[in-house]
Amino acid sequence: MRAWIWFAVLAACGGAPAATQVGAGAGAAPAEQGALVASNILRGDYAGSRACADCHGAIYTAWEASAMRGMTRDARTAVIRAPFDGASLRVGGDTVTMAMRGGDRVMDLATARGRETFRVTKVVGGRYREDFVGLDERGEEHVLPATYVFATRSWRYKGYSVMVVERPAMSTRSQWSRECLPCHNTLPLATMLYDDIDPRVPAYQGKLSDRMMPRSRIWAARALDDAGLVRALGDEIAFLGAARPDAGTLHDGLTAAAIANREHLDGPHLVELGVGCEACHNGARAHAADPDVRPAFAVRSSLVAVTPPRGQAGTRAQWINHTCAKCHTVLFSRYAWTWEGGTRTANPGGSSISSGEGRDYQLGGCASQMACTACHDPHTTDPPARLAALATPAGNATCTGCHAAFAGEPAAARHSHHAGGSAGTACIACHMAKKNMGLDYALIRYHRIGSPTEPRRVLGDRPLECALCHADRSVEDLVSTMERWWSRRYDRAALRALYGDDLSVNALRATLARGKPHEQAVAIAVLGASGDRSALPALAGQLAHDYPLVRYFAQRALETLTGAPVAIDVGAPAAEVRRAAADWLRAAAARR
């Protein structure tokens, strides 16, 4: 294993891999060197990240500069790249202007309802884009409507960060304290388990993603000491400033805690602003006081147990992956469809957009043995070149440590049916295809590791994953090749339902014409990179797509294909975009 990968695993796990052991209240918990903390989920178990700096100086220094650490920052002290220089953004009849006033960054919103000014107080994110939080004139903090995207050096409506249809107006109704805290900041883990312990609790922002996992992959949470947990819930409720409830049932206590979280949780109640060490490592006050007492990714508590799904032993890798998936999930966005022909509420497959990687990885077989940290160093911002190297034949060692039969150039060539040493023999290139919508309008890797020949992918999704590299090939050509090379057989009737009656059609062009929005985004991005200028009219037609996020992918694809800017405000109303796209296409044709 490469040195940097091994370092990342050690840093994330606190030591070398070891056999699993059963910890109090933790089900099958990963073994650690020395005693484990007795409790790591309650507010009193947390010490804050500064407590880690003395012993873990090098890691702490690297992490302080990472995108993870800077997930939420105080605008007064943060380095902010977005220019507040008077630029404006329009959605429907609403306009927001970003400017400086009295040394503060402000967003001025003008709508049919009137005018309102927000003073920026927090910046969220910073690797691909910056979102903002600001105070209104009543002193309430809101999620602000404008996002700055680094790749395009332009502003975009924040609502269009996910797959939603065109909006008639901007919204600033979302209060920061009600929307964004658990995954963008550090809170006690217990506050995120209320609905896992009792699914009947009312909605609150600590609800996590497990309910969007297939039942076979859900980690079960249960109370071990009802009375003790009710008392602990009362302590948390009182900390939030709500009235401690009278003693009642566990359901009563969890309900009261969820309501208190929803109504009172705010910045002062965070363990710390942004993603701290304990957002992943869980409460480590006991470890900070005595380094021989080790922290744990597994839940450690006499009050609550969290156990892995059936068939999983609770290995170190599984606990790390479950920890990452607490936040790296995206099925909150209500977009209906998932990969593998599923939906977010019925038979959910993998997510189709960035930030679902942790959840998706758990859907594949590798997650039982390999942690996310085998490829990603959680304590720094991964250099793009290092990640890119993993998707080359030189990066295959990450996979062949377990899949030894495919180690070496001859074995990889036999398995892949591609020339030895070529890009087609890179494990990750095929088994983690680039088909998810990234934050900068480029495709990123799909993290449910699997094969492009799987029937649920071939017959459930467009386009065929082989078309992502072989953009000029037809559906029939690709499918016939897969059948010949890997002794598969695919139902042509099912394929016609996806691509139309004529399977000699180009797989990407058919996806663009007939696909679901996330499938169309994939075809758009690949066609944009193909160099085939005959795709210009079809791509230009997507600039007014029902889903504005897809429009941005179309704009970037056209710019990639032509090598020139496409100066169209694709966030404008669809009718305006359609007219502008037609004008642009005529001008592009005249230049050829």
Ordered by start, the domain boundaries in the chain are 50-68+182-304, 80-174, 428-591
Of 148, 160, 131, whose CA–CA distance to 83 is shortest?
A: 148
Report the distance separating Cα 483 and Cα 453, nearest Å: 9
Tokens of 567: 């100066």
The pLDDT score that the predictor gives to residue 5 is: 32
The pLDDT score that the predictor gives to residue 6 is: 31
Q: Is 51 in contact with 288 (CB distance < 8 Å)?
A: yes
The pLDDT score that the predictor gives to residue 347 is: 85
Please report, for residues 77, 371, 383, 450, the alpha-carbon distance to residue 82 in angstroms, rounded to integers and kept in the order given. 14, 34, 22, 38
Q: By three-state DSSP, how is residue 126 classified? A: coil
Terminal Cα distance for the chain, rounded: 51
The pLDDT score that the predictor gives to residue 208 is: 67
Report the distance separating Cα 583 and Cα 51, nearest Å: 59
Q: What is the CA radius of gyration of the chain?
A: 25
Report the distance separating Cα 86 and Cα 105, nearest Å: 10
Residue-wise pLDDT for 121-165, tens only, equals 999 999 999 999 999 999 999 999 999 999 999 999 999 999 999
Measured in whole angstroms, the distance separating CA 129 from the mean position of its chain's CA atoms is 14
The pLDDT score that the predictor gives to residue 209 is: 63
Is the CA virtual torsion 114, 119, 121, 127 positive or negative? positive
The pLDDT score that the predictor gives to residue 1 is: 30
Residue ranges of the chain with per-residue pLDDT less than 70: 1-34, 208-210, 332
Question: Residue 113: how many CB atoms within 10 A of its CB?
Answer: 9
Q: Is 322 in contact with 30 (CB distance < 8 Å)?
A: no
The pLDDT score that the predictor gives to residue 179 is: 81
290: which residues sit within 8 A by CB, 6+ positions away? none
Q: By three-state DSSP, how is residue 307 classified? A: strand
183: which residues sit within 8 A by CB, 6+ positions away? 326, 327
Measured in whole angstroms, the distance separating CA 100 from the mean position of its chain's CA atoms is 32
Identify any residues that bridge with 474 across adjacent strands, giving them in sequence order. Answer: 506
The pLDDT score that the predictor gives to residue 210 is: 66
Q: Is 301 in contact with 39 (CB distance < 8 Å)?
A: yes
Tokens of 312: 């999983």
139: which residues sit within 8 A by CB, 6+ positions away? none
Tokens of 417: 């049916």
583: which residues sit within 8 A by CB, 6+ positions away? none
Tokens of 266: 């705010």
Measured in whole angstroms, the distance separating CA 514 from the mean position of its chain's CA atoms is 26
Report the distance separating Cα 395 and Cα 354, nearest Å: 22
The pLDDT score that the predictor gives to residue 133 is: 97
Report the distance separating Cα 9 and Cα 2, nearest Å: 11
The pLDDT score that the predictor gives to residue 216 is: 86
48: left (phi over 0), alpha (psi -120 to 50) or beta: left
Report the distance separating Cα 459 and Cα 455, nearest Å: 6
Residue-wise pLDDT for 418-475, tens only, equals 999 999 999 999 999 999 999 999 999 999 999 999 999 999 999 999 999 999 999 9
Q: Is 376 in contact with 361 (CB distance < 8 Å)?
A: no
The pLDDT score that the predictor gives to residue 342 is: 92
Tokens of 348: 């959910």
Rounded-to-10 torsion of CA 84, 89, 94, 96? 0
Phi, psi of 98 (to 5 degrees): -100, 120
What DSSP string runs through 24-78? TTTEEEE--SSPBPS--SSGGG---THHHHTTSHHHHHHHHTSTTGGGEEETTTS
Q: Is 172 in contact with 144 (CB distance < 8 Å)?
A: yes
Tokens 């220089």 correspond to 85
The pLDDT score that the predictor gives to residue 552 is: 97
